[in-house]
Amino acid sequence: MAFGDFTLQRDIDFEVARGSIFFIMGDSGCGKSTLLRHMLGLIRPTKGRILYDGEPFDIDDPATMNRHLKRVGMLYQGSALFTSMTLAENVEMVLEQNTRMSPRERRSLAEYRLALVGLAGFEDYYPSEISGGMRKRAGLARAIALDPELLFFDEPSAGLDPLSARLLDELIVELRDTLGATVVIVSHELASIFAIGDDSVFLDAESRRMIARGPPTWLRDHADHEKVRRFLRRGEAAPDEASTRAGAAAHGAPAP
């Protein structure tokens, strides 16, 4: 992945297993979201290829690209809902552009998709009238409008409180199982990574390479690079700090 003479990442090579929940991890500025855009065909790789089921995802072949993209659903970090449309209209727009359904059929399916993400009864609300967590779910309803085989998420938990983030994680797993979809997520949220991640890659901003690949919990304990282990152990108290906290609690003293 390069822009002019600047190489953002090189030597990226991995496969995403069908039906898995796959995380793209790394520090800020390493190219996580840019890699997602490459996988969606929004940016052309400077070198190399992206394959869908062994078939090149060719930006220069609009017919092939559009055929692949109809198998894909995307939830953007900010949900990207059209604020002038109701939630149902946001979902119906995808159906109108990609199917020959009648208006009544589109409305019925939009209501069903919204119900799947826990928004039954909110079809005629506008994005400004609901909470951030609900907007994420509405964006997800639009992303699954066409029964996608692949779901892409860019920082889905960004801006959500811990409870809303956990509920969204549970919804992602439920939809993966219901739709039989494969899920690719860009995230730095450890709670989500460990709770639902089956596999992952770690992009390093310093070396500009993918330096780790494997299940997140395995990488946390066994990754060759200390940087990866440190990233996945963020927030863990050091042994002496943990002992100090435990001792203070046992004696009724405030923890330092």
Model pLDDT for residues 74-91, shown as the tens digit of each residue: 988 777 899 999 999 999
Confidence band for 243, pLDDT divided at 50, 70 and 90 = very low
Q: Domain 2-71+150-247 classified CATH 3.40.50.300? A: yes
The mean pLDDT of 112-135, rounded to a whole number, is 94
| Cα 98 from Cα 187, distance rounded (Å) | 29
What's the one-letter identity of residue 104? R
127 within 8 A of 89, measured Cβ to Cβ: no
CB-CB contact of 202 with 25 (8 Å): yes
Q: Name the residue ranges covered by the structural domains of the chain.
A: 2-71+150-247, 83-147
- Residue 92 pLDDT exceeds 90: yes
Report the half-sphere exposure of 182 (CA within 13 A, side-chain side): 14
CB 133 within 8 A of CB 144: no
Looking at the predicted structure, is the pLDDT value of residue 34 above 90? yes
Contact 176, 21 (CB under 8 A): yes
**Tokens 């069908």 -> residue:** 18
Distance between CA atoms of residues 116 and 144, nearest Å? 10
Query: Directed axis angle between helix 103-116 and helix 87-98, to 10°?
Result: 120
pTM of the model: 0.86
Residue range 12-35: average pLDDT?
95
